[in-house]
Amino acid sequence: MANLLTMQFCATLRKPGNLKPLRSTSTALTSKRSYSSEDREYLHKSIVPTMHYQKSLPRLPVPKLEDTIKRYLAAQRPLLDDDQFSTTEKLARDFENGVGKQMHEELVAQDKRNKHTSYISAPWFDMYLSARDSVVLNFNPFMSFNPDPKTEYNNQLVRATNMVASAVRFMKTLRAGLLEPEVFHLNPAKSDTDSFKKLIRWVPSSLSWYGAFMVNAYPLDMSQYFRLFNATRIPKQGKDELFTDPKGRHLLVMRGGNMYVFDVMDRDGNLVKPAEIQAHLKHILSDPTPAAAHPLGLLTSENRDTWARLREKLLATGNGEVLGLVDSALFCLCLDDESMNDHIHISHNMLHGDGTNRWYDKSFSIIMAKCGNAAINFEHSWGDGVAVLRFQNEVFKDSTENPLVNPGSQPAAVDSASAVRRLQFNLDAELENGVIKAKENFHAAVSKLTIDAMQFMKGGKEQLKKKKLSPDAIAQLAFQMGFLRQYGQTVATYESCSTAAFRHGRTETIRPATIHTQRCAQAFVQQPGKHSVEQLIGMLSECSKYHGQLTKEAAMAQGFDRHLFAMKYLANSKGQDLHSLYQDPAYAAINHNILSTSTLTSPAVNLGGFAPVVPDGFGVGYGVHDEWIGCNVSSYPERNVHEFLQCVHKSLEDIFSVLEGKPLS
């Protein structure tokens, strides 16, 4: 069945315009729902139970070892000279025919013993939770909301109230099993219909995936969703832990570094009246308490072992109860006193801010600026973009289409002073010094980060699809061309792709730097007069086809990165010596991702971003829209992000000129 899935799914992915990672897929803003305006407790009531497909999802396949080695060497070829490649090829063949065969067999055997999960799930959690670097810049990304189309609803208090209410309704819908399952519809006219849903709901959950498959629909893994709410990453020495307490009924609100809690659900689990939520938030926004002298949120930006030690100190000095309220809160709402000036300001504020008004360890935070600009910043160890984007889509849709308060709404006449509790912490000199040191470290780190954005307005998805080219492939090619123009080389490049089509799938890596992109980039950048328009268009087509193949393989869990990582993890866990393949400088280099890229487009999302994953890298968030292409890129001082974006823009201009039949000048 897995082979059949691959064939069917990939047949569709071959079509231009469909070549995109699954992470960008969400039904939240398009599907039809049964929604009752009388029922304020739920977003909708899905005909099909939320987790109906989970039990029958296909298992994440372990690739064949020979395929992994073949793909690994293909990805290495454009990064190495002939002598380097010859060395790497010998090491890879030795691995394939020797110890690698044994490691692969052990991994397959272990996978068969753990049929409830995937072979990558535990190692991936372990990788994230064992990392000792700060989660800020190194792991937490952000995705900003588009403004509410009704401008008067972008008031900070009104929008925060509506988003909190929508978020609680999402949580209640999810926990009641009424949230529509996440499904990748390849033929929505057949599968995204009430008649199909009424039929499939009666198919046993152990078989339901096959029923969806028969109509070209692919349910996605939803195992991460339960960690969206009441969840926090807890710092521990050596390895952190994920904490979840679904009994919490309260919201954590931060303003001016002060922390507040109040219940957003009553004792029966019903949503508190929106006018009461509005009153409580208004109380917090008008609280005259000065900004916190030692804002504890800064500690969550520290090195994880440092933070673990200080957290133990916090517990020892009598702060256990208030820390418990922080950890068990539904989520964190950060009310900022600053208005945003432009996209760059938004990116810096939503990615890191000043460190004082954030609790970076919460599974996610909704950040609401004074001007009503909003974003989600999320901790990455518990889950990937699929779950967060679905949540963001639903909250945007519900809060804009079904707002529960409006600009003329009066907050309820309730005693907010009693309902809202400002959390107070006992801090001794060591803890105060810890906060001061955390602030110094935080500012030293974020002061090195530069962010710039670019919009290419001369073409986008529609034009590229007409030319039978993959929009994602052309965007990635522009990054390769841009880097070659700026620095004269081809470097390790990472594009994230979701494997949520499989049970407990996480992500796989697409490797966009290929011999095809290298050849094409050299032709455009270094030999502009040497090739005819027809030859250049032929090269663009080759790049598109090969990138399409890589995307299909990654979506079907047929990359090489996770397989090699899992075998390395297994060897380390058994105390075995690593094969020379893993000691090869070329292996280190291909995992030193100078171009780290991720794409998403959604009607709910304005822009997203993240920091580079290496000091000499770029963090490239991008979206290919119908008529334009946008990039939001970050860098540290070793790279010039402004020049890089100029080079990417020039590359896109050249590509679209050639597609119009104009020769390169």
Catalytic machinery residues: 380
Q: Single out the residue of 479, 463, 516, 452 nearest to residue 651, CA to CA.
A: 479
Quote the crossing angle between the two packed helices 641-659 and 471-487, to the nearest 10°. 130
Distances (CA, A) of 134 to 28, 179, 290, 370, 450: 32, 34, 28, 27, 18
Distance from the Cα of residue 566 to its chain's centroid: 21
Tokens 């061309």 label which residue? 481
Residue 600 tokens read as 């998403």
The one-character DSSP state at 155 is -
What distance in Å separates the CA atoms of residue 18 and residue 28, rounded to the nearest whole number? 18
Indicate the burial class of 303 (C-beta count within 10 angstroms; 0-12, 13-18, 19 or more): middle
Evaluated on CA atoms 136, 138, 139, 142, the torsion sign reads positive
Residues 6+ apart with CB under 8 A from 193: none
DSSP, res 362: B
Angstrom distance (rounded) from CA 648 to CA 249: 48
Strand order in the sheet with 142-145: 421-422, 258-263, 250-255, 332-335, 364-368, 374-378, 142-145, 605-609
Listed as own residue / partner, the contacts of 286-291 with beta carbons closer than 8 Å and 24 or more positions apart are: 287/255, 287/258, 287/260, 287/422, 289/256, 289/258, 289/422, 290/256, 291/256, 291/257, 291/258, 291/356
Beta strand 374-378 with 142-145 is antiparallel
Phi-psi sector, 312: left (phi>0), alpha (psi -120 to 50), beta? alpha
Which 8-state DSSP code applies to residue 184? E
Q: Which amino acid is at 354?
A: D
Q: State how far the Cα of 648 lies from the Cα of 643, in Å rounded to an integer.
A: 9
Query: SS3 of 265, please?
Result: strand
